[in-house]
């Protein structure tokens, strides 16, 4: 039997997301607080005698070739580590695609970690972070999970203390899709030139506010203006009992924070035509244990 590795690839929400000016390299300066949640894809890897990389995906909208982030992540390590064996991957999707939940980035991070474990190799953390960042701005966060501050493009990660466990209802509308490119185009129309970056300590402290108002996303005004249904979903979540609600990343999923899974399930009945997921926040230790427990099959 060939050695194999099986890893969960968890989704994320952004508890806070502040967009600053566009930089000279074309990217925007960000301040964001990532939070891992229990909704996840599953990635399985096998060693192969073919000396090739292959990938199988159960989602018809995603490419199963060299343009896929999982394939690219494996290929980078394949060349970096000068691997002799091939690697076969199978990705089972559950995180909705292009909804701001970081599914593709998380799959790429799982591919990096899984390839290292499958082959028994190690990579110095600074180099692993560099590789992760080259694949996407969110990918470094998914190497650690939990709650973290992201600055620069969101790829410079600083772990934060975990908040209390919370139930999160994610609503992914079937009739609205917002690409990251379009989301930034929307926010650029309303971005105030020369916006001042918030003080880091104050920006992070708001997420522990007992009075609410800690969750915020600068994409909302612009994206909601173009896609009014997303504003309606947020309003329905709040009317359904959510303590707070916000656009997930650059959208188009919207999430609400609830006191209990039962309350979230009741609120989910308001969205019969959409995909809904009752999930919860994951601490950094829970995230780490989940990856380790399911690492080797």
| Catalytic residue ranges | 12, 138
Other C-beta atoms lying within 10 Å of the C-beta of residue 207: 18
Which two three-digit tokens encode residue 232? 């309606």
Report the alpha-carbon distance of residue 265 to residue 78 in Å, rounded.
43
* Contact assessment for residue 42 and residue 75, using Cβ atoms and an 8 Å cutoff: no
* Residue for token pair 């896609």: 227
Other C-beta atoms lying within 10 Å of the C-beta of residue 132: 25
Q: Which residues contact 172 (CB under 8 A, 6 or more apart)?
A: 96, 99, 101, 252, 253, 274, 275, 276, 277
């Amino acid at each position: 039997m060939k050695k194999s590795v099986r890893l969960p690839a968890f989704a994320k929400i952004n508890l806070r997301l502040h967009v600053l000016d566009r930089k000279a390299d074309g990217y925007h300066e960000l301040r964001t607080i990532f939070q891992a949640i229990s909704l996840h894809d599953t990635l399985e890897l096998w060693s192969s005698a073919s000396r090739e990389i292959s990938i199988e995906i159960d989602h018809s909208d995603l490419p199963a070739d060299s343009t896929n982030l999982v394939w690219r992540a494996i290929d980078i390590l394949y060349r970096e580590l000068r691997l002799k064996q091939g690697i076969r991957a199978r990705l089972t999707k559950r995180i909705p695609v292009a909804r701001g939940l970081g599914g593709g980035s998380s799959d790429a991070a799982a591919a990096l970690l899984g390839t290292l474990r499958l082959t028994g190799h190690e990579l110095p953390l600074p180099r692993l972070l560099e590789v992760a960042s080259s694949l996407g701005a969110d990918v470094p966060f998914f190497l650690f999970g939990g709650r973290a501050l992201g600055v620069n493009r969101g790829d410079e990660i600083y772990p934060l203390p975990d908040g209390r466990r919370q139930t999160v209802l994610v609503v992914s509308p079937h009739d609205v899709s917002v690409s990251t490119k379009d989301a930034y185009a929307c926010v650029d129309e309303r971005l105030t030139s020369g916006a001042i970056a918030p003080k880091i300590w104050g920006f992070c402290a708001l997420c522990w506010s007992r009075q609410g108002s800690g969750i915020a996303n600068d994409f909302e005004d612009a994206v909601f203006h173009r896609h009014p249904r997303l504003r309606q979903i947020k309003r329905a979540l709040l009317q359904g009992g959510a303590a707070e609600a916000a656009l997930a990343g650059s959208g188009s999923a919207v999430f609400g924070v609830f006191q209990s899974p039962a309350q979230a399930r009741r609120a989910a009945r308001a969205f019969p035509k959409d995909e809904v997921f009752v999930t919860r926040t994951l601490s950094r230790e829970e995230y780490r244990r989940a990856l380790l427990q399911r690492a080797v099959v």
